[in-house]
A and B are shown apart, each in its own frame.
Chain A
Amino acid sequence: MRVGRVGRVGVVRAPIAKTAVVAAAVKPGPAPIAKTAVVAAAVTPGRRRRI
């Protein structure tokens, strides 16, 4: 690490929590593929909100 990085105030304000691993939802296999299709449908242009 460069010396210039040491002792400075950071821009990432707090320890980062690990997010759920996205790859788990799109891994090859029957169920994940189905989920991928469902998600794709959910973000398809023209889909209307249900309230």
Chain B
Amino acid sequence: MTDAALDELGPVDFVIVEFPAGHTNFTGEMAEELLKLVDSGIIRLIDVLILTKDENGDIDAVELEDLEDLGELERLEADLAELLAEEDVVNLAAAMEPGSVAGVLVYENLWAAPFAAAARRAGGQLIADGRIPIQAIIASLEADAELETVGD
């Protein structure tokens, strides 16, 4: 990748979605929504792995191409890069419960790329980023409410 291409690269994130044993209900809706995100240019899918963790904690990683009946996802598979390494699989699976299956997605936030590039051109440097869990917002609001009660 050239310096110019790197300069236009959007932030790259990963998510792991765990499906506890006995709690899966795959209808194809997830694949449809993922395709919409890609087709609308919101994200570029970089890598996908399906992880399984058995009751003994042993981990297995399955490639998207190894799944049967990929359907529409097949056209995404051709554009994937092999970014994640075996070492990553171990680190990612640390969050999984034994007996569960998880999907790992690595993606570029295309929607953020123009702003990020503009910020870089303006001399800005990303010094931190992160996600605020919904639970943290709830906790903050509850603490606010508690303070109001004390003040009464």
Q: How far is the CA of A22 from the CA of B83 in the complex (A)?
A: 27
Q: How far is the CB of A21 from chain B (nearest CB, A)?
A: 9
Give the bracket for the number of chain B residues in contact with chain A: 20 to 34
Q: Does B55 count as interface, using CB distance less than 8 angstroms? A: no
The answer to whether B85 and A8 have CB atoms under 8 Å apart is yes
How many chain A residues touch B (CB < 8 A): the figure is 29
Per DSSP, are chain A's interface residues mostly helix, strand or loop, or mixed? loop
Q: Does B14 count as interface, using CB distance less than 8 angstroms? A: yes
Q: Does A29 count as interface, using CB distance less than 8 angstroms? A: no
Q: How far is the CB of B68 from chain A (nearest CB, A)?
A: 17
Q: How far is the CA of A6 from the CA of B89 in the complex (A)?
A: 10
Interchain Cβ contacts within 8 Å, total number: 81
In-complex Cβ contact of B14 among A12, A15, A18 (8 A): A12
Given A16-B94, A16-B95, A17-B94, A11 contacting B134 (CB threshold 8 A)? no
Q: How far is the CA of A9 from the CA of B16 in the complex (A)?
A: 20
Given A9-B87, A10-B87, A12-B84, A43 contacting B61 (CB threshold 8 A)? no
Within 8 A of A (CB), among B45-59: 49
Interface residues of A, Cβ cutoff 8 Å to B: 1-2, 4-20, 22, 24-26, 35, 38-39, 42-43, 50
